[in-house]
Chains A and B, each alone.
Chain A
């Protein structure tokens, strides 16, 4: 089973764009690919892209499956703030690391459950259902931090943000682990098929006996968990929780990463790895623009331009002009009709 959307040709725009952006960075900044080992941890611009891209990549992993069910989760940025706020506050209050992690992840899980129930059981449109938590979530995070920016000094928690495992920065390690676990969960079971089926046609899937509410709740719960991990990383990195700004607008980057990765907002086929590639494209551009010394005013415009190109490459109208492996007409015409029988003949 593949982790990405089927068809090698479909992956080309994403990988091509990533390579192009990295090459552009290299041209602007010849040391871009230089990697050095220092204090048992890798450093370099490329590592920076991976490290800084980790939160959005994590969000994109969860968001991919939500979008595959034809939904969207606008609350992930707020969920990051909640999980970060809980982690920082509890650490400040002297809780042990396992308890802190468990509580933060549980908060993400509960947030996902809330979204999932609104969408699957109460049948509220995903964009509205998750908008509720997007707005309320930041309020909850502020309640947790009592409106303060909570800082902490625990090296154990900070390790998640700035430590490394086998020379690889922890955020990158965590992203790889979450991606691998997610991929295993959806592709080694039948969950992936069911997510795609529900996304393409919820009625047909329910009619075939698929437990659509459970599938929907599951993807929102998983998305909440991914957001909680991302929130932990950001909080651990800055050694503090800023309920107002942690993860602000990152839901939009995550959605963009998924779309750049080729998963349709109309649901159906999804590619987890490609979504992470999408997140890396976005981050590589951010890093490149920073390195290039362009005026910050240009940053967003350059970013928009590159994204437009990637999306255009995937546009159905444009791909009409490219050679396609599949015809778009009924197959019955390809072979001669089969020998008919007497049963249905009408006098």
Chain B
């Protein structure tokens, strides 16, 4: 299946037979990868396919065991990121690794500041910074601290820095993971400009739409092996997903059919009236009934995350009231919510979800233990039973329950967090972007799990940017715009088109980008 089509001239970057093992585990096994001048090349695969290892071997973070890497026909073996940079290989990561407290100009010229008489020539640095950013259509105050700008702007600045340091190969590792649709569009414009200048771009992403929008070629890895390289135009989506997963998939996402009448007749489990918080989200009304999936849709920053954080007490509402089972309740903090039988998987898994250094077992039992209180410890054997049960049930891939959770891949961390809440047998589970940054396989499992959970009578409140996903599992969709709940779609009304229309209504200028919302 290896389709290493012979290039007419020496390719920009030619990797042949690359192998890398860690403690006996073969992370990369004889992988070929070819990047041509002026090409955007998607590097795809599930979590753990070997994408990161490939990139880190390329940028000198790891040293390869076997194989060759040639840049414009010349063999290279960088021993560190700086050396890779000197060899014209620049990398920009999802989390921008520049210094937020320094100015834009300082970040652009960090370590290579223009000097005059042994001192940094600030005037020259500012002028050159403006010149460097100008082709990217970025007119920002280069003296302002980098941290003041959006992630997208920071990313473009990071790209500008890498390109300015004479990059011929630019590696973008999930650059779009925390960008909204407009920001993605801006980034793609920059990528196309760079492509026209002959730079080769390696693009790692989980969003297949983006692959089809911007990439010329696709290389798919699976389990450390090369599955194949194709031209994007010649590879239908379904085939691509099959390549990534290693098996054929049924195309159609099926809809769950819960008779609306049946669910609507149930009394609401949780009910929020005029609930809101100044500078966070406008007061809203929201009823959640047992066994139903309510999705919150909207653009990034529309108040989706803010809404669920209020519901779980992560942020404290300053107006309105909440009732559970018809009784007024206080939601002053997550502990109140946990006691009411709520669970919450936050969007920022690393910062607010996992307790990295602790084991998978401890992470899974943490919420249950917290609800029981410190005086009633869950016996070790019971902890192990719970952990093992969920590891099996959710297929969390870890050698054992004692492995620190930070060593698991993103999708498995997410599943362990789900397990943490499922162990508490929650009545309302809140998921904020449950499938973000997760590979296709885990993605499907999590959606399947969502369906199974609500069939068991649990209520779910889900925030997601993936509209098709929302349509696939939600009975009711609340659409938000500009920190306001603007529409509610029920049952048969739920469709991608209606959601996009609701997001875009009254604000025609957003309509274009609204349609791009990761369909």
* Residues of A bordering B, CB below 8 Å: 1, 188-191, 193-194, 196-197, 200-201, 203-211, 215, 268-269, 326-347
Contact = CB atoms under 8 A, between A and B. Distances in A.
Contacts of B443: 344
A331 B408 contact: yes
Interface residues on B, range: 35 or more
B362 A342 contact: no
Contacts of A215: 374
B357 A200 contact: yes
A208 B366 contact: yes
Given A332-B48, A332-B409, A334-B397, A340 B352 contact: no
Given A327-B22, A334-B399, 7 more contacts: A196-B357, A209-B370, A327-B25, A329-B407, A340-B441, A342-B253, A342-B444
Interface string B463-478: 0000011001100000
Nearest to B468: A346
A245 B53 CA distance: 57
A331 B398 contact: yes
A331 B356 contact: no
A201 B469 contact: no
Interface in B44-64: 46-50, 53
**Residue with the greatest number of chain B CB neighbours at <10 A, chosen from A203, A328, A330:** A330
A268 B404 CA distance: 12
B444 A201 contact: no
25 contacts: A190-B377, A190-B378, A201-B355, A203-B351, A206-B334, A209-B337, A209-B367, A209-B371, A215-B374, A269-B357, A326-B404, A329-B22, A330-B47, A331-B399, A332-B46, A333-B27, A333-B224, A338-B397, A340-B247, A340-B249, A341-B445, A344-B253, A344-B444, A345-B440, A346-B208
Contact of A205 (B351, B366, B374, B375): B366
B445 A190 contact: no
A345 B441 contact: no
A95 B48 CA distance: 69
B195 interface: no
8 nearest CB pairs, A to B: A332-B48, A344-B444, A209-B338, A330-B409, A209-B370, A333-B48, A332-B409, A343-B447
A200 B355 contact: yes
A188 B353 CA distance: 26
Contacts of A207: 312, 314, 334, 344, 346, 352-353
B19 interface: no
Nearest to B380: A1
A338 B441 CA distance: 7
Contacts of A341: 444-445, 448
Contact of A268 (B253, B254, B357, B410): B357
Given A197-B358, A345-B251, A335 B397 contact: yes
Nearest to A336: B223
B47 A332 contact: yes
Given A197-B362, A201-B356, A208-B420, A337 B441 contact: yes
Contacts of B358: 193, 196-197, 200, 268
Contacts of A327: 22-23, 25, 407
Nearest to B337: A209
Interface string B260-289: 000000000000000000000000000000
**Residue with the greatest number of chain B CB neighbours at <10 A, chosen from A200, A328, A335, A337:** A337
A201 B408 contact: no
Contacts of B46: 332, 337
Contacts of A269: 357
B353 A204 contact: yes
Interface string B81-100: 00000000000000000000
A190 B444 contact: no
Nearest to B420: A208
B352 to A, nearest CB: 5
Given A204-B352, A333-B48, A346 B237 contact: yes
Interface string B186-223: 00000000000000000000001000000000000011
B398 A210 contact: no
Nearest to A269: B357
Contacts of A334: 25, 397, 399
Interface in B289-336: 312, 314, 333-335
A201 B354 CA distance: 8
